[in-house]
Amino acid sequence: MTTFNVFRYDPAIDKCPKMETFDVKNERGMTVLEGLFYILENLDPTLCFRSSCRAAICGSCAMHINGQYRLACRTQIEHLKSDTVTVRPIAHSEIIKDLVVDMTNFFANLEKIKPYIINEGPFPEREFLQSEGERKGLDHLIDCILCGCCYGACPSAGTDEDYLGPHALMKTLRFINDPRDKGGKERLAFVSSENGVFRCHTVFNCQEVCPKDLDPSSAIARLKMKAVWNTLKNLVS
């Protein structure tokens, strides 16, 4: 048996959040997400959480599990090496119910950086070609599944809701480094602003918690470098 301590809060009914305890029959290989489904199906049908692919691809089931932000679907209970599993929602977002948060701000920040190729033409007859090497250079930036773990763990996002967040900044570098994209200068100017890269306090929590083992800290560091060189170049010229 594993004890699940689950964060419960329904803003429409509850005055303040509380932790509720459930005993879950643990089987070898069982994930935290399966544990939550066990609670939903057998103990409390009102428990609310998000999930979809169960394969660490969609990023829906990101939550705070036993001291770290993780994906519930790829976290096996036995790997936590504890008889208790404590589950909380992603921080820095309004709670809709229990473990479900409103990610409007998270995606609005992503939208601000124009997460698409900017190229005003002339357009090729078929598609913008990209060499294998050019694509490989984007590997470490492109695999982000937008789960929100980095955003929840980032203290800068907790004190400034306009801060773009590690997810949006890493996506910016992904487009700046893409040879098909022509919006580099515009993107760099945007992320060099007050709520961009220089709002990052270099805490490395984003790198620590990323379930895909990406390094948003490094992406932000490279954007800072580019922003500094750009400013120096403008001063000289």
Partner 1 sequence: MKLSNALSNTKNDILLNPNAGTFSYVLHRLTGLALAGYIFAHIIVLSAVLSGPESFTQRLALVQTGIFHYLEIGLIAVIFIHMLNGLRITVADFANLTRLHKTLLWLSILIFCAIMAVTFYVFLF
Q: Which stretch binds partner 1 (CB under 8 A): 30-38, 103-111, 130-138, 153-161?
A: 153-161
By beta-carbon proximity to partner 1, the closer residue of 17 and 115 is 17
67 binds partner 1 per the rule CB under 8 A: yes
Answer for which of 82, 84, 201, 231 binds partner 1 (CB under 8 A) is 201
Supply the minimum distance, in Å, between the C-beta of residue 218 and partner 1.
Answer: 4
Encode the chain in three state secondary structure: CEEEEEEECCCCCCCCCEEEEEEECCCCCCEHHHHHHHHHHHHCCCCCCCCCCCCCCCCCCEEEECCEEEEHHHCEHHHHCCCEEEEECCCCCCEEECCEECCHHHHHHHHHCCCCCCCCCCCCCCCCCCCHHHHHCCHHHHCCCCCCHHHHHCHHHHHCCCCCCHHHHHHHHHHHCCCCCCCHHHHHHHHCCCCCHHHCCCCCHHHHHCCCCCCHHHHHHHHHHHHHHHHHHHHHC
68 binds partner 1 per the rule CB under 8 A: yes
Q: Give the alpha-carbon dihedral of 15, 21, 22, 23, to 10 degrees.
A: 180
217 binds partner 1 per the rule CB under 8 A: yes
Supply the minimum distance, in Å, between the C-beta of residue 129 and partner 1.
Answer: 29
Supply the minimum distance, in Å, between the C-beta of residue 164 and partner 1.
Answer: 15
Answer for which of 94, 155, 186, 231 binds partner 1 (CB under 8 A) is 155
215 binds partner 1 per the rule CB under 8 A: yes
By beta-carbon proximity to partner 1, the closer residue of 38 and 171 is 171
Supply the minimum distance, in Å, between the C-beta of residue 195 and partner 1.
Answer: 12
11 binds partner 1 per the rule CB under 8 A: no
Compute φ and ψ for 13, nearest 5 degrees.
-115, -50
Site string for partner 1, 74-113 (x = CB under 8 A): --------------x--xx---------------------
Applying CB under 8 A, the residues found at the interface with partner 1 are 64, 67-69, 88, 91-92, 153-155, 158-161, 201-205, 207-209, 215, 217-218, 221-222, 224-225
